[in-house]
Amino acid sequence: MTYVVTDNCIRCKYMDCVEVCPVDCFYEGENMLVIHPDECIDCGVCEPECPAEAIKPDTEPALDTWLKLNADYADKWPNITVKREAPADAKAMDGVEGKLEKFFSPEPGQGD
């Protein structure tokens, strides 16, 4: 089992999650983060910390797309353990539908 970052992280990218993860298993893309499924210890600490409610346990239904995306990009993007400032329009982007199709970027973030 692992926790997974899902759609609403895209362009919200609050990064509160990275501050609490005991095993530092978040990886940074240009406009979202992902969790490395082989490193996550399923502690669940990050889930309530996300203001966008974007982190889910993989026991929830219909997360296949996100499980694969987290696994794929955790291998490509840099590790992030320190929170920076969220995007200026993070609040406006919270809850926008279909972010994966409209806004997902495969580009890496800057990491720590």
Which residues contact ligand F3S by CB under 6 A?
5, 9, 12-17, 33, 50, 52, 54-55
Instruction: Choose the one of ligand F3S, ligand SF4, none that binds residue 35, judging by a C-beta under 5 to 8 angstroms depending on kind.
Output: ligand SF4
Residues 6+ apart with CB under 8 A from 3: 35, 40, 42, 44, 46, 47, 55, 56, 57, 58
Q: Which two tokens stand for residue 106?
A: 């495969």
Point out which residues bind ligand SF4 (CB under 6 A): 3, 20-21, 23, 25, 35, 40-46
Instruction: Choose the one of ligand SF4, ligand F3S, none that binds residue 80, judging by a C-beta under 5 to 8 angstroms depending on kind.
Output: none
Smallest gap, in angstroms, from Cβ of residue 48 to ligand F3S? 10
Q: Identity (one letter) of the amino acid at 32?
A: M
User: What is the greatest pairwise CA distance in the chain?
Assistant: 33
Residues 6+ apart with CB under 8 A from 70: 2, 4, 5, 34, 35, 36, 37
Instruction: Choose the one of ligand F3S, ligand SF4, none that binds residue 9, judging by a C-beta under 5 to 8 angstroms depending on kind.
Output: ligand F3S
Q: Which is nearer to ligand SF4, 37 or 99 (CB)?
A: 37
Q: Hey, which residues does 98 pair with through a beta bridge?
A: none
Smallest gap, in angstroms, from Cβ of residue 69 to ligand F3S? 13
